[in-house]
């Protein structure tokens, strides 16, 4: 079963950002940091700044040790040296509850909008069938999900991204990544180069950045510093799209190619095996060469 660790991290981060703080770390977060290239000293510093809010069972202890944690660091985590002060807990819980309520309201509004849109599409198809004309192409499933949620970075500033261009795409690549992730920073320039080379001759293809950064400013800096030429899901709206997060793998960088019907045709993960985003680009080249998108990697 795919573990949507990325979605969990995003849900935590946005709730705590609403309270003016970064989310406290869990045992999984710390293990992921160590495996992603953070040194032990950097991890300890980050834990001291953000605090730790988790219990360490035998499985978590084993995972932390395998990732590079020392017995001394584990002992400090267990004895509460990095715990959240009791005076801050109530304020954080109140902010998280308020954020949860807003997310529920946003999700309900999105559901109502999607229901209305589907009804309109059914009416259009029925009218086209009755008149003998061809109904307009149905927008890409990812484009429908992300209506009103996309931004783009231009001259270092974020602005709203028009929905219409995305709706005409046949292949959309979801790029789960974050600036704090060393392997992501290494791969992103390669993806930018690939996009600039391929996009002009492949109008049916687009990339959408799904940030796993720890704050909106971090996401904006990542997009600006690496000059990402593709749109991104607005940071505060990422958690309102569970349909998108179902495509996330258990680690980053993760690149997933989705066709217009929502079917995965290439993935950084083959089951639980990490193929890496480089293999997805190779799959894309193969698809473009044949001009017939088709399944390459299994979920």
pLDDT in tens, 186-214: 999 999 999 999 999 999 999 999 999 98
- Closest Cα to residue 9, out of 37, 50, 39? 50
β-sheet bridge partners, residue 207: 173
User: φ and ψ at 26, to 5 degrees?
Assistant: -105, 175
pLDDT the model gives residue 85:
79
The span from the CA of 29 to the CA of 104, in Å, is 25
End-to-end CA distance of the chain: 10
User: What single-letter DSSP state applies at residue 84?
Assistant: P
Full set of structural domains in the chain with CATH? 25-83 (no CATH), 141-290 (3.40.30.10)
Q: To which H or E segment does residue 153 belong?
A: strand 150-154
Higher pLDDT, 155 or 203: 203
pLDDT the model gives residue 165:
78
Mean pLDDT of 154-175: 85
Q: To which H or E segment does residue 208 belong?
A: strand 205-211
pLDDT the model gives residue 115:
58
The pTM (predicted TM-score) of the whole model is 0.56
């Amino acid at each position: 079963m795919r573990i949507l660790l990325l979605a969990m991290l995003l849900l935590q981060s946005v709730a705590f950002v609403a309270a003016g703080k970064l989310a406290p770390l869990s045992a999984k977060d710390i293990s992921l940091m160590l495996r992603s290239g953070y040194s032990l000293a950097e991890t300890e510093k980050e834990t001291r700044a953000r605090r730790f809010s988790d219990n360490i069972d035998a499985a978590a202890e084993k995972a932390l040790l395998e990732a590079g944690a020392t017995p001394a660091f584990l002992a400090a985590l267990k004895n509460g040296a990095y715990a959240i002060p009791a005076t801050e807990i109530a304020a954080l819980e109140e902010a998280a509850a308020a954020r949860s309520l807003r997310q529920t309201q946003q999700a309900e509004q999105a559901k109502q909008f999607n229901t209305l849109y589907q009804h309109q599409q059914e009416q259009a198809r029925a009218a086209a069938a009755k008149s003998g004309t061809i109904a307009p192409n149905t927008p890409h499933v990812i484009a429908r999900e992300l209506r009103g949620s996309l931004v783009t970075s231009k001259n270092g500033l974020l602005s709203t991204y028009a929905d219409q261009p995305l709706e005409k795409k046949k292949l959309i690549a979801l790029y789960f990544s974050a600036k704090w992730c060393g392997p992501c920073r290494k791969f992103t320039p390669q993806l930018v180069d690939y996009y600039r080379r391929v996009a002009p001759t492949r109008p049916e293809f687009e990339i959408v950045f799904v940030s796993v950064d720890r704050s909106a400013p971090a996401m904006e800096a990542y997009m600006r510093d690496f000059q990402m030429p593709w749109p991104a899901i607005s940071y505060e709206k990422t958690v309102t799209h569970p349909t998108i997060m179902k495509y996330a793998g258990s680690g980053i960088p993760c690149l997933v190619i989705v066709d217009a019907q929502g079917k995965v045709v290439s993935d950084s993960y083959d089951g639980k095996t990490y193929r890496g985003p480089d293999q997805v680009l190779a799959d894309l080249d193969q698809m473009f060469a044949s001009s017939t998108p088709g399944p390459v990697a299994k979920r």
